[in-house]
Amino acid sequence: MADQNFTRLHAACLLALAAFLPASCNLDASPVIAATTGEPAMRAVRTASVSLRSIDLSINASGILMPHETMTLSSDMPGVKVLHVSADAGSMVRKDEVLVQLDPTMLQAQIDQQQAVVAQHKVLLRQAEQENARTTGLSAGQVLSAEAISARRFKVESARAALQVHEAQLKELALRRGRLSLRAPAAAMVVERNVAPGDLTGSSPRPMLVLVPHGQMELRVQVPEARLADLRPGTAAAVTLADNRQFNGTVRRVGAQINQQSGLAELWIGLEGQNGGALIAGMSGTARLQLRTRSVPAIPEKAVLYDTAGASVMVVDSNNRVRRRAVKLGARGQDFVEVTGGLDEGTRILVGSAAFVADGEKVSPMPPTAVGD
């Protein structure tokens, strides 16, 4: 009799322990409701319903740093030898600093020759002026024909015109000599160098140097076309670069067209507080863009599961069975995420215990709460 009592007591203890273990061994798992009608035990779960919520939305977009604008430096005189290059990619240069010096030898020879021609024509002009002046100094017995007088005056005008032509040619050569020294048009950072001493100008279609004024960079990102209505020039952005440096940014320009293959549009985000030369074109970064506040279908972020197939949630149907369903998500804010596809408003989803419930399992939902409660 004592053995039978012990056996019944032992069995009762095992049943109590079995009911207790699922809740006590895993603090994150939902408790299992013991069966009272012979049905399998059901897990008690917390649910939430998809509902409209007015939240401050934001989206993340990745991209690379690109120059805000660029300037190119090239020579318009082909066939001139490059003597010296004083700037390299990544260096900062001052306004009017000589960056590329071309060989002046050939041009200087042309200038010397033209200076001699100008001097010669000055002599010819003086000679013509003297011959014309003697016309008025003739004595009464010396007479020149009207044709001879006209010829002397024409000779003066012709000599003067020829001198002006050669002086203009000399001035043009002097201007070309000034262009042998290629100077920085503004304080800038050199981002590309395509020239070396010994090269001949015009031998390459690429510019000698590419400059970024003041080294100003911007982050160029891509965003879904569905978000364009929420973005405009002036939208605030928090930018984090790959090396963890952070900048405040502002959307400078919104792209005017959508990539038909990707469905994405480009944004140009200007960065505040840049130090010249601190940022390099091609660096990657992420921008968190603050969108307009509006009401959207939303669910708690902790209800979303992620795997290689993408985002999904555990939906509770009318029979209290759980089904996994893929969802499309949009902007995030205040621990909620916008639902852009896959769920209708009012749909019940698991919150917090989704990872512990199997697809198809029947559960015992707690009273559903609207998103945000």
pLDDT in tens, 158-215: 889 998 998 998 898 888 888 899 999 999 999 899 999 999 998 888 999 999 988 8
Query: Hunting for tokens 């917090």 — which residue is that?
Result: 352
- Banded pLDDT at 372 (limits 50, 70, 90): very low
User: What is the structure's pLDDT at 138?
Assistant: 54
**Two structure tokens written together for 20:** 């207790």
Is 226 within a domain? yes
Q: What global pTM score does this model have?
A: 0.54
Task: Enumerate the H helices of 49-136 as residue ranges.
Answer: 105-136
Percent helix, percent strand, percent coil in the chain, to nearest 5? 25, 35, 35
Q: How many residues does the chain have?
A: 373
Is pLDDT larger for residue 141 or for residue 59?
A: 59
Is 13 within a domain? no
User: What is the structure's pLDDT at 136?
Assistant: 63
Q: pLDDT for 33-72, tens place per residue?
A: 544 555 567 788 888 889 898 877 778 899 999 998 899 9
User: What is the structure's pLDDT at 179?
Assistant: 86
Q: What is the phi/psi pair of residue 150, to 5°?
A: -65, -35
Is 12 within a domain? no
User: What is the structure's pLDDT at 71?
Assistant: 92
> How big is the CA angle at 323 (ends 320 and 326), to the nearest 5 degrees?
140
Nearest Cα residue to 315 out of 299, 296, 291: 299
Nearest Cα residue to 73 out of 60, 59, 87, 62: 87
Helix (H) or strand (E) holding 178: helix 146-178
Q: Indicate if 320 and 286 belong to the same structural domain.
A: no
Q: Indicate if 286 and 254 belong to the same structural domain.
A: yes
Is 352 within a domain? yes
Is residue 140's pLDDT more than 50?
Answer: no
User: What is the structure's pLDDT at 132?
Assistant: 79
Q: Which domain holds residue 199?
A: 74-99+184-211
CATH number at residue 245: 2.40.30.170
Is 63 within a domain? yes
Yes or no: say if 31 and 44 are a contact pair by the CB < 8 Å rule: yes
Q: Please give the sequence-ordered ranges of beta strands (E in DSSP) within 263-350, or none if there are none.
A: 264-271, 284-290, 294-300, 305-307, 310-316, 322-326, 328-333, 336-341, 348-350
Total of domains in the chain: 4
Is 264 within a domain? yes
Is residue 97's pLDDT more than 90?
Answer: yes
Is pLDDT larger for residue 355 or for residue 64?
A: 64
Residues in contact with 259: Cβ distance below 8 Å, sequence separation at least 6, in sequence order: 222, 265
Yes or no: say if 338 and 330 are a contact pair by the CB < 8 Å rule: yes
The 3-state DSSP class for residue 95 equals coil
Yes or no: say if 226 and 330 are a contact pair by the CB < 8 Å rule: yes
> How big is the CA angle at 282 (ends 278 and 285), to the nearest 5 degrees?
80
- Banded pLDDT at 137 (limits 50, 70, 90): low
